[in-house]
Structures are given as C-alpha cells and as structure tokens.
Amino acid sequence: MRRLLVDFADIHSGHSSALMNPEVKLPVDTENGDEGYRTPTPTKIQRKLWGFLGDDLEEVKRLANGDEVTVLFGGDLTWGTKYPDGLVSTREMDQFIIAYYNLKPFFALPNMTGMYFSTGTASHEFGHGNAPNLVAGLLKKDYPDKDIYVDTHGFYNAGGVYFDVAHHGPGAGIRAWTEGNVARLYARSLVQRCCNKFIRPPDVICRAHYHTYCRETVYWPTDKSRCTEMIIAPSYCGITPHAIQVTGSTCFLTCGLVVFEIIDEKLKRVIPIIRTIDLRISRRI
C-alpha cells in the first residue's frame, strides 16, 4: 500500500506579504450601507506565492498518481495583530476567511483524506489556537468526509510510519557552515530520550516557524539500522518588516512544501518541493 503525506507551514494569512487566494471574498463593512463582498487586490509577492502553491500542488497530484494524500499543517495559519504593519485588513475576522480560502486547494487533491493542524505562535494565531480551531471548524462543515483535527503536539501513525509534529523547534542555523547542526542535535536528543524511556522514537520529526527548509538524519542508538528524519518546513510567506529584523536582513527566502512517500509501512522517500528566492534588489550604479 502506498500513500503520501504533505507537510507545509507558516502561510500567515492576512498579511500583504503572505499567501492569499486571489478568489477570496471578504464581507464589506455594512456601517456605510454597503452590501456584498470584496476581493482584495493581491500584491506582487502574493501573486508569486499563489503561483508557487499551484505549481506545488500539481506536483503533489502527479506524485500521488491517485494514491491517498494526507496533509500536515505545521502552524502559524494567520498573521495576527501584534505586528500590524502590512495587514490586508484590520478586521481580525478577515484573516480567518483568507486562511480558509488558502487551504481549499488542498481539499481538491484527488484522494485527499484529511488535514491535521498544529497550533502555532500565539501572537500570530490570536492565542489558545483560535485561528486553526476556527478555520478547522469551517472546513469540517464544508468537508464532512475528511479527517480534520487541531493538535498542539501530534504523534501520528501514518500506515506504520510515526510522525512527531509541532510548530516550534530548532532553527536551521544562522551560519552557512553550521546549517543543520542545531536541528540534528535536537533530533538526537529527542530520539535518545525516547530510547531511555523505552518509547518508540518517531520516524519523522516535523517542525516549522523559521521559514527555512532543513533536513537532517539521525540513527537510533538502540538500532543503527533505523533512523529518524528531522524536517523543518519552509513557508509560503514573503519577507515582512518583523522578519527583516529578526533574521538580520536575510537575503534568501525558501518557499514550498515537503512530501513523504510511504510504501508498505516504510518511509521510502522525502521529497522537498521548494525554491529559494534572492530578496536583494539588483541595480547598476
């Protein structure tokens, strides 16, 4: 039996530099006597990100070739209001609506079985998992035949392959020559703790938050023929003023998702579908 799991995160719906479905419909304010809906004009980066997602889902469809697809969302569904610069709308409700429209294409994948949400950063998701729980409720209503759950920290058995899934975890590294070191040590520690407690280590650790793809492989100390894949998911979000500050003006942005191929209860392939964007402005001076 063959199936795919798709891991993506950090779409930060509601920010003008983040993912936004161009078909989203936001209710207009009625206080001025207006009625109906409006569709915000996407920014240049939003058009680019939506194109990336469309291409990536077509590749997922091709890889699945009719087999089951289950989706893991790694957190930070919305942008929140803590950093208000660049919001598409000042209404909190609109962020939930944008997020709902952003996720609809995943449910259009053939043989898509469900979506498992991880709660993200409280300042981005309005605390207490408000954003994923509200949007998951909307999706459950429209897709009652799909499995839709929201978890703070999930441990999922996907056809005999175990996934440890949460939003916060290690970074990919702040220096080119140390990339992956912290993630690898994080995974080694988690695997060692499981072994010390006679608990089965996960086959895959999925984390997000840092908007940068990273993969490290750690072998189990109790069985060197077994290993755990440590994955940090990329994002579908451009650079924001807050991100410029916290990253020290990073010049590279990674966008995309990660596909896991499971065949006969074994993880056969980890397939990153990603691209790197150079954020620098090139001029002849």
Pairwise CA distance, residues 137 & 171, whole Å: 31
Look at residue 94 in the predicted model and tell me its pLDDT.
Answer: 98
Which CATH number characterizes residue 135's domain? 3.60.21
CB contact set of 258 (below 8 Å; sequence gap of 6+): 6, 7, 8, 213, 231, 233, 234, 270, 271, 272, 273, 274
pLDDT, tens digit, for every residue of 84-111? 999 999 999 999 999 999 999 999 999 9
Tokens (6 digits) for 132 = 């994923």
Look at residue 33 in the predicted model and tell me its pLDDT.
Answer: 67
Residue found under tokens 């942005």: 253
Look at residue 70 in the predicted model and tell me its pLDDT.
Answer: 98
Look at residue 246 in the predicted model and tell me its pLDDT.
Answer: 66
Pairwise CA distance, residues 102 & 20, whole Å: 6
How many helices, marked H, and strands, marked E, lie in the chain?
5, 13
In terms of residue numbers, what domain contains 227? 7-21+37-105+117-278
Looking at per-residue pLDDT, the higher value among 273 and 30 belongs to 273
Residue 132: pLDDT band with limits 50, 70, 90: very high
What is the average per-residue pLDDT within 249-277? 95
Strands 204-207 and 161-165: parallel
174 in any annotated domain: yes
29 in any annotated domain: no
Burial class (CB in 10 A: 0-12, 13-18, 19+), 158: buried
26 in any annotated domain: no
190 in any annotated domain: yes
Number of domains in the chain: 1
1 in any annotated domain: no
What is the average per-residue pLDDT within 23-45? 88
SS3 for 201-234 is CCCEEEECCCCCCEEEEEEECCEEEEEEEEEECC
What is the average per-residue pLDDT within 179-199? 97
Could you tell me if 166 and 132 are in contact, meaning their C-beta atoms sit under 8 angstroms apart? Answer: no
50 in any annotated domain: yes
261 pLDDT more than 70? yes
27 in any annotated domain: no
Pairwise CA distance, residues 254 & 136, whole Å: 26
CB atoms within 10 A of CB 132: 27
Sign, CA torsion 125/54/205/70: positive
Look at residue 182 in the predicted model and tell me its pLDDT.
Answer: 96
What is the average per-residue pLDDT within 28-44? 85
Pairwise CA distance, residues 18 & 87, whole Å: 10
What is the average per-residue pLDDT within 215-244? 92
Q: Which of 25-39, 167-181, 188-202 has the highest mean pLDDT?
A: 188-202
173 pLDDT more than 90? no
137 in any annotated domain: yes
Choose among 256, 179, 174: nearest CA to 216. Answer: 179
Look at residue 135 in the predicted model and tell me its pLDDT.
Answer: 98
What pTM was estimated for this model as a whole? 0.95
Residue 198: pLDDT band with limits 50, 70, 90: very high
